Amino acid sequence: MSTGTLYLVPTPLDHGCDSQAPLPEVLPLGTLRVTAGLTHWISENAKSTRAFLKRVDAELPLAQPVQAQQITELPRAVHKKGDHAGGFDARPLLAPALQGHDLGLVSEAGMPAVADPGSSVVRAAHELGIPVVPLVGPVSILLALAASGLNGQSFAFVGYLPQDAAARTARIRELEALALRTGQTQLFIETPYRNQALLQALAHTLAPTTWLAVGAGLTLPDARIVGMRVSDWRRRLADEPPQARALPAIHAIGP
């Protein structure tokens, strides 16, 4: 029996947001067709996956009803410790593919295994000889980078910054020194409810001439992308009150 294929299925970036973009505006027809045809899933969160599949079903009929879809969640430890910490073995999750079923890997927002769990599943698929096919869809890191005005030839995504204020300040200075020394754009993410605190910390810590770009709510109707020198950010934050609504955001710094 031939193996199935592991498809990396991107989802809209509007998870947890008040507004949603129409699905055909953020996912091409080819991605929707493959997604609608899948019946077996490895998921970051089963509830959000079912909600996503209902949106797909409104565009193209699913091969099986949402209630009949086989959805296996990644263990919570993978979320907290990372895919490759503690020797997590993802191979058992790929049993349906070894039995000939195509399998979808999906996260709550964006591309699975990029700033989200799933890389251990992809690695296990390669080890087992299961074909891996990434589907086309939104990746917030690349969208923010393209719109940042910063170096797109050399860049690094460094995940989340520390929550502790002192540790966060030290990390910001470390990343700024690296960006200024090498010209490499540094990108990082934060949860929506901490975005304002991070932006204030960046404006206070970074040098006035450093370029800071923030992309929030990308692909949503109320998306906003702003890039300017830190000196200008300081004036803007002094003149404008904090945003009332929090949106997922990517931050980028560079010379």
Phi, psi of 168 (to 5 degrees): -65, -45
Record the tokens describing residue 201, joined without a space: 């910390």
Task: Count other Cβ atoms within 10 Å, centred on residue 158.
Answer: 13
Mean pLDDT taken over the chain: 92
Name the nearest CA neighbour of 110 among 144, 72, 68: 144
Predicted confidence (pLDDT) per residue in 52-73, tens digit: 999 999 999 999 999 999 999 9
Predicted confidence (pLDDT) per residue in 185-220, tens digit: 999 998 888 888 999 999 999 999 999 999 998 998
Which residue intervals of the chain bear CATH 3.30.950.10?
140-254
Q: Which residue has the higher pLDDT, 105 or 1?
A: 105
Which residue intervals of the chain bear CATH 3.40.1010.10?
6-134
Q: Which residue has the higher pLDDT, 238 or 29?
A: 29
Residue 30 predicted with pLDDT over 80: yes
Task: Give the CATH class of 140-254.
Answer: alpha beta
pLDDT band at 239 (very low <50, low <70, confident <90, very high): confident
Fold category of 6-134 in CATH: Cobalt-precorrin-4 Transmethylase; domain 1 (3.40.1010)
Record the tokens describing residue 110, joined without a space: 């964006």
Name the nearest CA neighbour of 50 among 106, 118, 4: 106
Residue 74 predicted with pLDDT over 60: yes
Predicted confidence (pLDDT) per residue in 131-175, tens digit: 999 999 999 999 999 999 999 999 999 999 999 999 999 999 999
Predicted confidence (pLDDT) per residue in 75-118, tens digit: 877 766 667 666 788 999 999 999 999 999 999 999 999 988 89
